[in-house]
């Protein structure tokens, strides 16, 4: 019996295992009470959960809005094990993917149809307990039934896909336009895959990490280059999905007249970059931000079956949930694209 199983046994049947990140950024496997569903909530037993940059920020430096100690995990799918008193559309046993962004529904941004800008956001895995646990409580309206046949790991990629669809919407659309994606991580490669599906005139990905090029090709992206290997090419749409200053500066320089750069990468709050105002004026460029998934989760549920194989090609590493610390160490090497945690299921 493993250490975590012993911990679980010792705490009885009302306890579950969870990964906790402390204020001091320590990672531990803890035993906590199994959540019970409040009205309007369901309890989900995750089967698969992605680790992303947000989780790494929570572990390493802190992420705005994090309430420590926190159980991270926000890119997940699983089975519903209990439903709150007034939940009608979801039942026990359903397989669901979860939009982790709890919103208030009443602030000016929620009322304006911009839920990602909600003034009272309470994202799962950041401001309330997330999915790196045997069970997680979820607002029922955030749980979307998906066919389990889509695959557990693909279902866990619906959340990042929804962020990608929001970024594509921010670009003004990619059909028949030339696209450059800076960064071949999960976000960049999902963006590239989606842009191909949406019939962009061409899709090019650039990344200095040559190991990522092979993953890009596996996902069907043929034009993959080093950042200094693009010659004099200009593009109508550039997605900055690297999250580093040089990529943003280079990306603006790659825009053709009237082109749009979508800022997807999350930089440090204190970062500043030098941009060429003359070019922005002369070429009538647009630079727009894309923050999280807004209202795109249902669209991502619908879109995922179309890119199922390409999405699964992005999963390079899989760990058992209780080996989260080892997964984080491995991600630090910079070679993985998507790392997923799988759950053995509660031992009851
Ligand atoms: N806007 C959103 O809604 C949203 C959602 C999820 C993640 N993100 C952010 O998007 C970014 C990408 O996420 P990810 O999970 O794919 O991260 P990742 O770290 O896996 O990928 C980033 C990639 O950028 C590459 N890179 C580094 N410097 C580069 C350069 N100069 N030019 C081109 N590529 C370069 C790296 O080698 C790496 O492969 C991160 O900043 C993340 O925080 C944003
Ligand atoms: Zn994420
Ligand atoms: Zn709100």
The model's pTM? 0.96
Q: 153 and 23: one domain?
A: yes
Which residues approach ligand 1 with their CB closer than 6 A?
52-53, 160, 163, 182-188, 206-209, 212, 227, 241-244, 246-247, 264-266, 290-292
- Contact present, 20 and 3 (Cβ < 8 Å): no
Q: What is the pLDDT of residue 12?
A: 60
pLDDT band (50, 70, 90) for residue 253: very high
CA-186 nearest atom, ligand 1: 16
Structural domain harbouring 191:
162-289
Q: 150 and 21: one domain?
A: yes
Evaluate whether residue 301 is within a structural domain. no
Number of domains making up the chain = 2
pLDDT band (50, 70, 90) for residue 2: low
Q: 18 and 149: one domain?
A: yes
Taking the CA of 106 as reference, the closest ligand is 3
Percent of the chain beyond pLDDT 90? 92
pLDDT band (50, 70, 90) for residue 277: very high
DSSP three-state, residue 206: strand
- Contact present, 260 and 200 (Cβ < 8 Å): no
Half-sphere exposure of 53 (CA within 13 A, CB side): 18
CATH number, position 276: 3.40.50.720
Q: 151 and 167: one domain?
A: no
Q: Average pLDDT in the 115-137 region? A: 96
Residue 348 predicted with pLDDT over 60:
no
Residue 10 predicted with pLDDT over 70:
no
- Contact present, 104 and 116 (Cβ < 8 Å): no
Burial of 136 (0-12, 13-18, 19+ CB in 10 A): buried
Evaluate whether residue 347 is within a structural domain. no
Q: 146 and 167: one domain?
A: no
Give the pLDDT confidence of 25-64 residue by residue, as tens digits: 999 999 999 999 999 999 999 999 999 999 999 999 888 8
H or E stretch at 229: none
Q: 247 and 195: one domain?
A: yes
Evaluate whether residue 246 is within a structural domain. yes
Q: 20 and 80: one domain?
A: yes
Q: 264 and 330: one domain?
A: no
Give the pLDDT confidence of 86-113 residue by residue, as tens digits: 999 999 999 999 999 999 999 999 999 9
Q: 111 and 200: one domain?
A: no
CA-264 nearest atom, ligand 1: 1
Give the pLDDT confidence of 306-343 residue by residue, as tens digits: 999 999 999 999 999 999 999 999 999 999 999 999 99
CA-246 nearest atom, ligand 1: 31
Give the residue carrying structure tokens 């594509």: 168
**75, 241, 245: residue to mutate for ligand 1 pocket, most atoms within 8 A of CB:** 241
Q: What is the pLDDT of residue 332?
A: 93
Give the pLDDT confidence of 183-232 residue by residue, as tens digits: 999 999 999 999 999 999 999 999 999 999 999 999 999 999 999 999 99
What mean pLDDT is reported for the chain?
94
Evaluate whether residue 139 is within a structural domain. yes
Residue 3 predicted with pLDDT over 90:
no
CATH number, position 64: 3.90.180.10
Residue closest by Cα to atom 2 of ligand 1: 292
């Amino acid at each position: 019996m493993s250490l975590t199983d012993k911990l679980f046994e010792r705490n009885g049947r009302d306890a579950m295992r969870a990964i906790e990140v402390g204020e001091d950024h320590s990672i531990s496997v803890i035993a906590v009470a199994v959540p019970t569903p409040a009205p309007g909530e369901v309890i989900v037993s995750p089967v698969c959960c992605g680790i992303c940059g947000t989780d790494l920020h929570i572990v390493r430096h802190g992420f705005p809005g994090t309430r420590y100690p926190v159980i991270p995990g926000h890119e997940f799918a699983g089975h519903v094990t209990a439903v709150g008193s007034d939940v009608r559309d979801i039942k026990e046993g359903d397989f669901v993917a979860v939009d982790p962004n709890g919103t208030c529904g009443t602030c000016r941004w929620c009322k304006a149809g911009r839920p990602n800008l909600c003034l009272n956001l309470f994202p799962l895995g950041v401001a309330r307990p997330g999915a790196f646990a045997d069970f997680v409580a979820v607002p029922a309206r955030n749980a979307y039934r998906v066919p389990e046949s889509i695959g557990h790991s693909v279902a866990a990629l619906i959340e990042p896909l929804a962020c990608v669809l929001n970024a594509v919407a921010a670009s003004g659309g990619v059909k028949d336009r030339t696209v450059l994606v800076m960064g071949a991580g999960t976000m960049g490669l999902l963006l590239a895959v989606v842009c191909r599906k949406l019939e962009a005139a061409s899709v090019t990905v650039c990344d200095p990490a040559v190991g990522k090029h092979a993953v890009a090709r596996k996902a069907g992206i043929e034009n993959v280059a080093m950042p200094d290997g693009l010659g004099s090419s200009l593009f109508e749409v550039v997605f900055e999905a690297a999250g580093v200053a040089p990529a943003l500066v280079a990306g603006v320089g790659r825009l053709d007249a009237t082109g749009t750069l979508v800022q997807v990468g999350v930089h440090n709050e204190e970062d500043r970059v030098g941009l060429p105002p003359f070019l922005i004026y002369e070429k009538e460029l647009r630079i727009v931000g894309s923050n999280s998934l807004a209202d795109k989760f249902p669209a991502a549920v619908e879109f995922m079956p179309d890119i199922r194989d390409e999405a699964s090609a992005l999963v390079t590493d899989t760990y058992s949930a209780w080996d989260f610390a080892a997964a984080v160490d491995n991600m630090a090497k910079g070679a993985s694209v998507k790392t997923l945690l799988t759950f053995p299921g509660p031992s009851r």
